[in-house]
């Protein structure tokens, strides 16, 4: 069955996603600017587990009445392929990017799950001057630093997450592809419990598993490279497509990833073919590698001709 929304063809395919381990942390500071500085640094170099160790990003900014200490804050989500790797990345990123940032504090962003160290080990930076406080059944550490003290909750929770939901936006040219991707990402950012870990939420170097070079585990997705149309052994494009952008979504739940994809499709197709968006597709591995399958036709917003 062919589905067309505002002139944009929606493929009858699916995005294949994988189980991951995930956590949320809440970073607060004297003002929103410094909370964001810490969050941006802590989620840096975290676009893909292929080479970064984890995937991380800012989920949303928090008002003072939403944070444990009544200050402006930012919620950050982190994902990794194993709990062990996630704990390692969490400690390094909080230690080097949050502890170091003026006026910040860090708290658990999830109440339920496997408890792992947050401030538990970072407290030793206090060199014996650190002080523990038990408040409401939760332990916090106060670590003396040069602008006062760094407050860190002792533990945060790790839960099962979903990584690798995706949309491929096929457009006439780069300007059209970027406009559709930007609209989709803006809509997705309003969905709780998800992040789009790549720069600006968009990746132009989509990959496939494997390579002609044995040392590489992933290489360019030649089937969706317009420059290779007519050259690659298998192309999924026609001569009208001049640019393809991909959006990758990680979420705390399967439902959250599905909802993000749904609103992303809606925002992109609002521009539709008049805005240069020709098709929406999704990346998968034949359903053999990831247990989460997000079928595009099941995620469609209301409307569209069939």
Asked if 218 and 51 count as a contact pair (C-beta separation under 8 A), the reply is no
CATH code linked to domain 3-16+162-298: 3.30.70.520
**pLDDT tens-digit map of 79-131:** 999 999 999 999 999 999 999 999 999 999 999 999 999 999 999 999 999 99
What pLDDT does 302 receive? 66
Strand-pair category, 131-135 with 194-195: unpaired
Residue 299: other Cβ atoms inside 10 A? 23
Domain boundaries, the chain: 3-16+162-298, 21-159
Q: What are phi and psi of 78, to 5 degrees?
A: -130, 140
CATH code linked to domain 21-159: 3.30.70.520
Distance from C-alpha of 236 to C-alpha of 218, rounded to nearest angstrom: 18
The answer to whether domain 3-16+162-298 and domain 21-159 are alike in fold is yes
What pLDDT does 4 receive? 96
Computed over every residue of the chain, the mean pLDDT equals: 95
Distance from C-alpha of 122 to C-alpha of 143, rounded to nearest angstrom: 9
Asked if 250 and 194 count as a contact pair (C-beta separation under 8 A), the reply is yes
pLDDT of residue 217 exceeding 70: yes
The structure tokens listed for 83 are 């709990």
Distance from C-alpha of 284 to C-alpha of 288, rounded to nearest angstrom: 9
């Amino acid at each position: 069955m062919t589905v067309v929304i505002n002139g944009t063809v929606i493929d009858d395919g699916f995005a294949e996603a994988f189980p991951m381990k995930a956590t949320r942390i809440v970073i607060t500071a004297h003002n929103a600017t410094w909370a964001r500085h810490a969050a941006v640094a802590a989620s840096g170099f975290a676009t893909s587990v292929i080479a970064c160790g984890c995937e991380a990003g800012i989920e949303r900014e928090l008002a003072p009445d939403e944070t444990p200490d009544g200050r402006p804050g930012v919620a950050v989500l982190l994902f990794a392929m194993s709990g062990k790797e996630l704990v390692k990345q969490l400690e390094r990123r909080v230690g080097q990017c949050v502890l170091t940032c003026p006026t910040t504090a860090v708290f658990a962003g999830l109440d339920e799950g496997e408890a792992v160290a947050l401030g538990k080990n970072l407290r030793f930076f206090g060199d014996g001057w650190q002080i523990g406080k038990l408040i409401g059944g939760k332990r916090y550490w106060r670590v003396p630093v040069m602008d006062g003290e760094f407050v860190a909750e002792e533990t945060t929770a790790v839960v099962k997450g979903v990584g690798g939901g995706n949309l491929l936006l096929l457009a006439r040219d780069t300007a059209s592809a970027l406009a559709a991707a930007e609209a989709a990402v803006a809509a997705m950012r309003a969905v709780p419990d998800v992040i789009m870990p790549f720069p600006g939420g968009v990746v132009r170097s989509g990959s496939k598993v494997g390579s002609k070079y044995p040392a590489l585990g992933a290489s360019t997705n030649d089937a969706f490279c317009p420059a290779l149309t007519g050259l690659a052994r298998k192309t999924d494009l026609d001569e009208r497509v001049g640019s393809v952008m991909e959006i990758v979504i990680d979420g705390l739940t399967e439902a959250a990833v599905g909802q993000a994809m749904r609103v992303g499709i809606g925002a992109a197709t609002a521009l539709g073919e008049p805005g240069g968006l020709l098709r929406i597709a999704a990346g998968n591995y034949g359903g053999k590698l990831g247990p989460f399958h997000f079928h595009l036709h099941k995620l469609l917003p209301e409307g569209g001709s069939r």
